[in-house]
Amino acid sequence: EAGVAQSPRYKIIEKRQSVAFWCNPISGHATLYWYQQILGQGPKLLIQFQNNGVVDDSQLPKDRFSAERLKGVDSTLKIQPAKLEDSAVYLCASTRAGPQYFGPGSRLTVT
Amino acid sequence: DQQVKQNSPSLSVQEGRISILNCDYTNSMFDYFLWYKKYPAEGPTFLISISSIKDKNEDGRFTVFLNKSAKHLSLHIVPSQPGDSAVYFCAASERGTYKYIFGTGTRLKVLA
């Protein structure tokens, strides 16, 4: 069974630029998550999808972050415009039920 | 307010000995708990879970203990191996939400 795929793995941008991350979950996993992990901290949930509907986006900074999962499969997370404090690893995870399975993450550096 | 806490940022253990990683939570509605292991430049990998109807779950060298009255869980690794050196995160969720709150992690170093 293929794992969660994410791209790009690394991205460096200047502040005020935009960036998009892509995630393809494990086949058959209806629930998809985006997390932000800042160095030295645990993953922080940004948004949770069930199929293509949003379950929880209470911690998503909606003035600059957006996410979609149009066909209930893969998802994109966009940041526009980026700030220095957005430098982090963006993790995608999926589950059918029970434990989540994570992708390798996308490391964003904002200069 | 941090609902899931791992108060030890790091832990060093000799190879072959027991590693004990601790996690405390504040939300009494949490009823499902997980441990993840994370190597550098990789995503977290699921290790073991426990639901609130149990107080112990074992999988090979890994055992998780849950003390609901103390709102505390621990992960025991016996015997510890150098390959266990990683950052360990505990996570918790309320029944049926599949919304997980993570602790800040404990870096385990197993010395050969």
Residue A1 scores a pLDDT above 70 = no
CB A45 within 8 A of CB A35: yes
pLDDT for residue B11? 96
- Residues 73-112 of chain B with CB under 8 A from chain A are 89, 91, 98-105
By Cβ distance, the residue of B6, B34, B43 closest to A105 is: B43
Q: pLDDT tens digit string along A39-91?
A: 989 999 999 999 889 999 999 999 999 999 988 899 999 999 999 999 999 99
- C-beta atoms of A48 and B98 within 8 A: yes
By Cβ distance, the residue of B34, B42, B103 closest to A99 is: B34
CB B106 within 8 A of CB B21: yes
Q: pLDDT tens digit string along A4-52?
A: 999 999 999 999 999 999 999 999 999 999 999 999 899 999 999 998 8
Of residues A48 and B98, which shows the higher confidence score? A48
Question: For residue B53, is it left (φ>0), alpha (ψ between -120 and 50) or beta?
Answer: alpha
- C-beta atoms of A100 and B49 within 8 A: no
